[in-house]
Amino acid sequence: MIIGEQKRLDEIAGMLEGQRRILVAGCRSCVAICLAGGEKEVAVLAESLRLLSSLRGKGWEVEEATVERQCEKEWVAELRPRIEGKDCVLSLACGVGAQTVQAMYPKVRALPGLNTSNMGAPEEAGIFVEKCGGCGDCVLHLTGGICPIARCAKSLLNGPCGGSQGGKCEVSPDTPCAWEEICRSLESLGRLDLLEEPIPPKNWLSARDGGPRRIVNKEAVLSEEQKRLKGGKA
Amino acid sequence: MSARSNLERVLLEGRFAVTAEIGPPKSASAESVRKHAREMRGSADAFNLTDNQTAMSRMSSIACAAVLIQEGLEPVVQMTCRDRNRIAMQSDILGASALGVRNVLCISGDHQTFGNMKEAKNVYDVDSVQELMILRKMRDEGKLWSGDGLEVAPELFLGAAANPFADPFEYRVTRLAKKVRAGADFVQTQSIYDMDRFERWMALVRAKGLHERVHIIAGVMPLRSPKVALYMKNKVAGMIVPDAIIERLRSAKDPKEEGIQLCVEQIQHLRGIEGVRGVHIMAMAWEEKVPEIVRRAGLRR
Amino acid sequence: MMRIIGYCCERGPGEALDLAGEKGMRYSSDLTLIQVPCAGRVDEVHLLRAFRDGADAVLVIGCLEGNCHHVYGNLEARKRVDRAKRILDEVGLGSSRLEMFHVASNQPFRIVEMAKEMASRVESLGPNPMAVKE
């Protein structure tokens, strides 16, 4: 899932300066799970903004709405009646959701209420850890199911480096050394042989380094005729 | 095979090699490099120039190496993977080679969060093992990683770092073997204070026959005070400093002298370990002591 | 004349309240108590809304830790109170206007104590700036 964190209230308040009719828009997907932008978080933030508005005389009129997934046009389309007449939308979805809202409502300013961070998973309640590097060329089968791109601070493919100590990364005592974990995993899988052959330099073309990615599933793309039959809905 | 550098020649001739380290300055003037060169001339077979150590910008390793060559000393250029991608690496190696550099140490590099520009983007296009593969291809095949032919191939003696004190211990030797497979001709180890652990590591290295496939140069660092020793123990990643050593420095009348004496004893002990082909003396900010250490340790210079 | 709102769990604290009544104990008329089935029913939104409506202070009264009939309702309440306190600091109202107390059914004096405690806090912090405007 995508993990993000709400921006600080003062930063959000700064973005809302001079605005009047505000819609706080949440998402029931990833950001709800990482407790950043779900329906509950929308309610609390909206109430905080109303409180701040009353205290400081900001004149904000704050409404709330939450959609199933803010990255999909069909759901964002349902927000139309709620967005009509608003000065801005404070999106509590991830960056993808916020951009989708802006693209669909080009006349109403979409503001990001979240700092979108990474692809990861909950470790336990309240703790969310980065797991996947999104490199487009997955090598989990070579590393015992542990992503070296995301979980190693240096994205080494032939780790560990000399800074690994006590199972921790040199970057922080909270960060496990991914390569120590990889070694242990390969050991328990009986595949330590995978540590012997040097892995050559990575092809980063499939990662963000190669440019913004566009993946086309040809069989799923509709022809013009098919689009017409579906009534203009793709 | 003829030696590609003075350091290689010394090792091939079976002599106990000595390398030392010079820290590049935070300056646009190379005067301090020349000064260290004059102080240290004759005390080692080659001199490492660190590469933006602890992720803080300093004069580049290659520029300092060029200055050393002017001063008649042989450099070892250190090149980390943190700040440059494969395109820049190969370009820098061609330039370094043209300037007379022959020894290159391929290392991952401290993460940039160690330094004072933590906000910088990190590169890590390739890791140190892959860096060895790339440089070896340039040297042995006369080709860039892209497959493009080089008009003139660089002459390189390739090195890597080895750290018997980092974890996980059991896999450190596998990683060394990987580096050898990737092209390492020599390795320099992290500074040794825990002699037991080093000896255990050497035993594993010998068991795999690696000591005969790569020249192992043991690292030592003279400690000038118990405070420095504690800093090394607690703040430097991948270093082990036994309490006995800190205690020895603490109870010494002259900690600086004690630190030198300790270093000399370590070198003498290391000479006796099978498979150790040389010593790498890292006297950072204490470069002027290297000639004395070399002399007192009885290293033929 | 202060406005102090208290969300009071009907179990342990509710029984303490009844006992206080039987014993003739009085707490300030500034305190308005709202009974809830469990402190865990109270949400950050309820707490913040109370301040928006002009409350000078708010308290949440739950059962002693380990005594919650719904197992951890009072623990959830604690977390929500902490979150709301953080927001109260961020908006400049001050987190000490909000507090969570744990009361057992045989501690009627605690109700009186808490009311006094919150009243004294309001005295030092001053009334809710929004209430003054009215």
For the domain that residue C15 is a member of, what is the CATH number?
Answer: 3.40.50
Q: What is the pLDDT of residues C13-58, one digit of tens each?
A: 999 999 988 998 888 888 999 999 999 999 999 999 999 999 999 9
Taking the CA atoms of A208, A211, A213 and A216 in sequence, report the sign of the dihedral they define. Answer: negative
A51:C45 CB<8 A: no
Chain A hits for C93, Cβ within 8 Å: 51, 55
Tell me what pLDDT residue A200 has.
96
* C89 — pLDDT class (breaks 50, 70, 90): very high
Q: Which of C43, C48, C130 sits opposite A48 (nearest CB)?
A: C48
Task: Report yes or no on C57 lying in a domain.
Answer: yes
Q: What is the mean pLDDT of residues B236-245?
A: 85
Q: Which helix or strand (DSSP H or E) is residue B181 part of?
A: helix B169-182
- Least confident window among B33-47, B117-131, B230-244, C24-38: B230-244
Query: What is the distance between the alpha carbons of residues B175 and A154, in angstroms, rounded to a whole number?
Result: 16
Task: Report yes or no on C134 lying in a domain.
Answer: no
Task: Report yes or no on C133 lying in a domain.
Answer: no
- Cis peptide upstream of residue A160 (ω within 30 degrees of 0): yes
pLDDT surpasses 60 at A234: no
Contact yes or no for B87/B117 (Cβ under 8 A): no
- Least confident window among A128-142, A143-157, A218-232, C97-111: A218-232
Q: Going from the N-terminus, what domains does chain A have, and what CATH number goes with each?
A: 2-118 (3.40.50.20), 134-234 (no CATH)
* B240 — pLDDT class (breaks 50, 70, 90): confident
Q: How far is CA A24 from the centre of its chain?
A: 18
Q: What is the pLDDT of residues A181-192, one digit of tens each?
A: 999 999 999 999
Chains B+C touching (3+ CB pairs under 8 Å): no
How many other C-beta atoms can be found within 10 angstroms of the C-beta atom of residue A80? 10
A196:B129 CB<8 A: no
Tell me what pLDDT residue A81 has.
97
Distances in Å between the alpha carbon of C108 and those of A209, C18, C121? 67, 8, 21
pLDDT surpasses 60 at A172: yes
pLDDT surpasses 70 at A233: no
- Least confident window among A176-185, B79-88, B227-236: B227-236
Tell me what pLDDT residue B168 has.
81
pLDDT surpasses 70 at C87: yes
Q: What is the mean pLDDT of residues B289-295?
A: 95
Tell me what pLDDT residue B237 has.
74
Q: Which of C43, C44, C87 sits opposite A9 (nearest CB)?
A: C87
| CB-based contact, A55 to chain C, within 8 Å | yes
For the domain that residue B106 is a member of, what is the CATH number?
Answer: 3.20.20.220
Chain A hits for C130, Cβ within 8 Å: 54-55
Write down the mean pLDDT value for chain B: 95
Chain B hits for A204, Cβ within 8 Å: 125
Tell me what pLDDT residue B239 has.
82
Q: What is the pLDDT of residues B263-286, one digit of tens each?
A: 999 999 999 999 999 999 999 889
| CB-based contact, C70 to chain A, within 8 Å | no
Domain of C107?
4-125
Q: Which of C45, C92, C130 sits opposite A47 (nearest CB)?
A: C45
Nearest Cα to Cα of residue C9 among C34, C30, C46, C44:
C34
| Percentages of chain C per state (helix, strand, coil), in multiples of 5 | 50, 15, 35
- Nearest CA to CA, how far is B129 from chain A (Å)? 6
Tell me what pLDDT residue C120 has.
94
| CB-based contact, A203 to chain B, within 8 Å | no
Percentage above 70 pLDDT, chain A: 99
Tell me what pLDDT residue B153 has.
98
Domain of B162?
6-296
The count of structural domains within chain C is 1
The count of structural domains within chain B is 1
Tell me what pLDDT residue A204 has.
97
Chain B hits for A200, Cβ within 8 Å: 130, 133
Distances in Å between the alpha carbon of B120 and those of A85, A92, A161, B81, C50? 42, 28, 20, 14, 46
Q: What is the pLDDT of residues A30-83, one digit of tens each?
A: 999 999 999 999 999 999 999 999 999 999 999 999 999 999 999 999 999 999
Tell me what pLDDT residue C21 has.
87
| One-letter amino acid of A167 | G
Q: Please report how many Cα atoms fall inside a 13 Å half-sphere around the Cα of residue B279, on the Cβ side.
A: 27
| CB-based contact, A200 to chain B, within 8 Å | yes
Nearest Cα to Cα of residue A171 among A160, A181, A163:
A163
Distances in Å between the alpha carbon of B24 and those of A226, B46, B56, B82, B188? 66, 15, 11, 17, 19
Task: Report yes or no on B78 lying in a domain.
Answer: yes
Tell me what pLDDT residue A232 has.
60
**Reduced to 3 states, what is the DSSP secondary structure of residue A84?**
coil
Task: Report yes or no on B149 lying in a domain.
Answer: yes
Task: Report yes or no on C91 lying in a domain.
Answer: yes
Nearest Cα to Cα of residue C41 among C84, C86, C88, C74:
C74
Q: Which of C48, C90, C92 sits opposite A47 (nearest CB)?
A: C48
A51:C83 CB<8 A: no
| One-letter amino acid of A95 | G
Tell me what pLDDT residue B140 has.
98
Contact yes or no for B37/B66 (Cβ under 8 A): no
Q: Which residues face B19 on adjacent strands?
A: B46, B280
* C134 — pLDDT class (breaks 50, 70, 90): very low
Interface test with A, best of B126, B134, B240 (most A CBs within 10 A): B126
